[in-house]
């Protein structure tokens, strides 16, 4: 498979989904669409916060990873696991940053921390 097509199908799809999530965030708690963890589904306040934060960072990091993987596909003669590794790292970073931010403002049950 052509490395450019491979990157477009892996990292390009992630970037496209991040655009969709950014401009169409889930309005209500659901089990199908959005940043879903037991804590974020505890109440609407934490749901809105987590999805807004995650979607913003996913868009930024997906754009960076898409550009990096596309650049790699032009430099390298053959790509196999690198675009997928870049995608997994992108998603992992977004999840970790979101969880860190949730820990600053919410307890484990989803209640807002008093400061």
Q: What is the number of structural domains in the chain?
A: 1
**Residue 98 covered by a domain:** yes
Predicted model pTM = 0.90
Using CA atoms, how far residue 111 sits from 33, 37, 77, 103, in Å, is 22, 14, 51, 11
In-domain check, residue 112 = no
Confidence of residue 75 (pLDDT cuts 50, 70, 90): confident
115 in any annotated domain: no
Question: Would 19 be classed as within a structural domain?
Answer: yes
CB neighbours (10 Å) of residue 15?
24
Instruction: Dump pLDDT digits (tens) for 57-72.
Output: 999 999 999 999 999 8
State the average pLDDT over residues 25-50.
94
- What range defines the domain where residue 72 resides? 3-105
- What pLDDT does 78 receive? 80
Secondary structure (3-state) at 112: strand
55-59, 60-64, 79-83, 102-106: which range is least confident on average? 79-83
């Amino acid at each position: 498979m052509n490395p450019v097509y491979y990157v477009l199908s892996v990292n390009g799809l992630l970037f496209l989904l991040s655009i969709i999530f950014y401009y169409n965030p889930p309005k209500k708690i659901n089990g199908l669409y959005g940043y879903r963890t037991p804590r974020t589904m505890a109440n609407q306040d934490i749901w809105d916060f987590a999805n807004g934060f995650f979607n913003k960072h996913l868009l930024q990091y997906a754009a960076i990873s898409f550009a990096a993987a596309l650049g790699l596909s032009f430099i390298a003669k053959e790509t196999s696991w690198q675009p997928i590794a870049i995608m997994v790292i992108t998603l992992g970073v977004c999840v970790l940053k979101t969880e860190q931010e949730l820990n600053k403002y919410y307890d484990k049950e989803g209640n807002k921390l008093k400061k």
